[in-house]
Amino acid sequence: MFQLRRQAPAMQLLFFLCLYFLGTALFMGSSQALTSMMHIDLKSLNSTATPVNSNLSWGLLLLNGLSQVLTFLLPALAFIYLLPDRPRFFLSFKPVKGSRVASMFIVAIGMLALILGLSALLQSFSWGTEADTMQEQRKAMEAALLRMDTAGDIIIRVIFIALIPAFCEEIFFRGIVQRFFNSFLKRPVLSIIASGLFFAMYHASIYNFLPITLAGIVLGFIYHRTGNIWYAILLHFLNNGIQVLQAFWVSRNPHLEEEQLPIYVIIGLIVAGAVIVFLTLRRIFAGTHGFAKTWSMPYQSSYQNNISG
């Protein structure tokens, strides 16, 4: 009988990639059926000038949720169960502390300032026609996803754009991908940086590549040092959720989107955000030691030891 948990890390990675491509194939088939059923033409969505109706916005939300579940959550959970293991042990779901939850709110505010400042700074430079086209398409997609008119619309966007991605992406990128990087690189810092870069590559934005990379690195450090994936999920959710609320506020004040931030404001956001994140994380990490050296592949957990005995 093939026992995945007894295989070398390279074989486990190959098996995990097969599960990922299978999930991606399921999503592609499902997305084609969904777009056809809802009469959605994604190719027409190439600029912020594209008219956005309720049907298009709902379709994009459903596609986003479907993508998260089929390409990230499903392959990750299937891989964990085939080890065999349980997500609770493998991913390190532990009780959360109230003080750390409050600290995550502060980190989220610092990250938002840092991301806003870096994005504004990078967008003040020209990175070429292809980068501009990708950014325009990204903005058009975000505008369609974030079409909000009522309080109900805000709640639904928070669920589909903040809650579902936070849960699915953290399990995939931090719980699985970061662990695999650690298996081959043998150094947690390098594995965290590598998973942050991979996280940014997935989001496919040249202008936002650096901010997303830094966000991924912060999430990776939080997961590794606290040994609890709930904190990474919470911070990811807060970061996305605040941006949903920010988008709603800007939609009610269109002049804010047109205004260019002065360079001193941009630098101030970057410096203030970096200081807030650094000092808060330093406090969170005080007295913590992170995962043990066995936190990589091949992986053995207390659950596995119990069922193999």
* Collapsed DSSP state (helix, strand, coil) of residue 288: coil
Question: Rounded distance, CA 166 to CA 229, Å?
Answer: 11
- One-letter amino acid identity for 271? V
Task: Please list the alpha-helical segments (H only) found in the chain.
Answer: 9-38, 54-67, 74-82, 87-90, 98-123, 129-145, 151-157, 164-169, 178-185, 188-203, 209-226, 229-252, 255-258, 263-285, 302-308
* Residue located via tokens 């965290």: 192
DSSP annotation of 84: T
Residues of the chain with confidence (pLDDT) below 50: 1, 304-309
CA distance readout (Å), 164 to 159, 169, 185, 220: 6, 8, 30, 18
Indicate the DSSP class of residue 254.
T
Question: What is the pLDDT, as a whole number, of residue 89?
Answer: 86
What's the whole-model pTM score? 0.90
Q: How many CB atoms neighbour CB 12 within 10 A?
A: 22
